[in-house]
Amino acid sequence: MENFVFQNTTKIVFGKGTENHVANEIKGLGKNVLLHYGGGSIKKYGLYDRIVASLKEAGLNFVELGGVQPNPRLSLVYKGIELCRENKIDFILAVGGGSVIDSAKAIAIGVPYQGDVWDFYTGKAQVEEALPIGVVLTIAAAGSESSPGSVITKEEGELKRDCLSDLIRPKFAILNPELTYTLPEEQTLYGAADIMAHLMERYFTQTKDVDFTDRLLEGALKTIIKNLPIVLKDPQNYGARAQIMWAGTVAHGDLLGTGRIGDWASHNIEHELSGIYDVAHGAGLAVIFPAWMKYVYKENIARFAQFAVRVWDVEADFNNLEEVALEGIRRIENFFKSVGLPVTLGELGIPEDKLELMAEKCTERGPVGNFKKLFKEDVLKIYRLAI
Ligand code: NZQ
Ligand code: ZN
């Protein structure tokens, strides 16, 4: 097991009706709030009114900025930074999913910084200061509600890049599973695929003596595999929605990666798909992950066989570990297909003409992945396996 420091400081407030008291969580953190949200779902389903009522009742000043698109854009971040400076904003409340939260995080680091906020996404600058942010989560997916990451797309150059800093971890996250009842079916699916990907990025490691976190990761994966079909059939099933939501936050909240080196190649390979073609992150991951598995499993067949047996209930056969490993890969691909997730680039409407460019962009800062280091040619082969 590797050395580690674990400190996830996000306060989680979980359960029915919790969003109605959001202002209680903001007290002591700020007085002038930027209310940041997406394309309108929070207004359509009445959440906006409840949030505004809580802010007004507590006497908090607020200005609002909606319009965050999935795969959040840098141009809106610039607008948010200006708005915050003009209105002396000292707290940002993100109401939505990963895109809104990531946009809020970018604004939070851009306000006190004199240079271009994109510098944090290219590695040119390190975050030293950030406005505090809080979250009311409306989709179980990205895990940004307690993660130190923010992923932003710069329109010019179609670059989707991330910035990591403990300073942008939200102060609190309000998780009411009922808020996810209104998700379109495909967003529930993409969210589940992203959660599974966050678990598998950590699971596929070459680090030894990680039984404890292996078992936690396997349990979390099995939770999603069991509960996803339930919510697809019965979107208002509180118990199943609640388990997916909590698993989604824990999946990307650092605990499950403690003491082990995660892979993260599939995320990097996917970011080129959503950066250029604006596909949903989770949809891209459902396509890329099985292709990545087929390409790298020989690096550690025993780990893939363990995944097959413990997560997918494949029968153990110590005389034929490779076949067990391959059966695990077939089962995850079949699971994705059975729930309605895409598993090929064609299903995402992605043509083959830019695969080389995507492989080039993906590895421009060096090889990706830790389970197996992948260079441009490797990434290109993975894209080809996903056709
Ligand atoms: O914009 P609105 O109208 O709100 O609609 C959203 C959006 O169209 C809709 N939606 C969300 N909650 C809803 C709802 N519709 C009805 N009812 C609700 N309760 O869902 C759509 C997708 O929202 P989005 O925020 O884009 O989804 P998600 O949470 O999957 O976030 C994806 C983004 O997070 C990044 C991804 O790259 C992508 O840009 N990630 C961020 C990470 C992080 N910061 O730690 C890690 C992840 O690996 C990921 O890369
Ligand atoms: Zn992800």
Q: Which of 353, 301, 349 is nearest to 329 (CA)?
A: 301
Q: Is 159 in the pocket of ligand 1 (CB under 6 A)?
A: no
High-pLDDT (> 70) share of the chain, %: 100
**228-283: pLDDT as tens digits:** 999 999 999 999 999 999 999 999 999 999 999 999 999 999 999 999 999 999 99
**Which residue, judged by its Cα, is nearest atom 32 of ligand 1?**
98
The span from the CA of 45 to the CA of 35, in Å, is 17
Q: Is 275 in the pocket of ligand 1 (CB under 6 A)?
A: no
Residues 6+ apart with CB under 8 A from 219: none
Among 99, 164, 167, 196, the mutation site with the greatest number of ligand 1 atoms within 8 A of its Cβ is: 99
pLDDT band per the 50, 70, 90 thresholds, residue 380: very high
Class of domain 11-179 (CATH, top level) = alpha beta
Q: Is 40 in the pocket of ligand 1 (CB under 6 A)?
A: yes
pLDDT band per the 50, 70, 90 thresholds, residue 324: very high
Tell me what the mean pLDDT of segment 116-136 comes to: 98
How many Å lie between the centroid of ligand 1 and the Cα of residue 355? 25
* Atom in ligand 1 nearest the alpha carbon of residue 160: 37
Q: Are residues 106 and 152 in contact, defined by beta-carbon separation less than 8 angstroms?
A: yes
| pTM, entire model | 0.98
According to the model, what pLDDT value does residue 238 have?
98
pLDDT band per the 50, 70, 90 thresholds, residue 297: very high
* Atom in ligand 1 nearest the alpha carbon of residue 41: 3
Q: Is 104 in the pocket of ligand 1 (CB under 6 A)?
A: no
How many Å lie between the centroid of ligand 2 and the Cα of residue 312? 21
Mean pLDDT of the chain: 98
**Which residue, judged by its Cα, is nearest atom 38 of ligand 1?**
71
Q: Is 151 in the pocket of ligand 1 (CB under 6 A)?
A: yes
Q: Is 281 in the pocket of ligand 1 (CB under 6 A)?
A: yes
Encoded tokens for 117: 């906020």
**66-89: pLDDT as tens digits:** 999 999 999 999 999 999 999 999
Residues in the chain: 387
**Which CATH architecture does the domain made up of 185-385 adopt?**
Up-down Bundle (1.20)
DSSP 64: E
Among 277, 281, 289, the mutation site with the greatest number of ligand 1 atoms within 8 A of its Cβ is: 281
According to the model, what pLDDT value does residue 169 have?
98
Domain spans in the chain, listed from the N-terminal domain onward:
11-179, 185-385
**195-223: pLDDT as tens digits:** 999 999 999 999 999 999 999 999 999 99
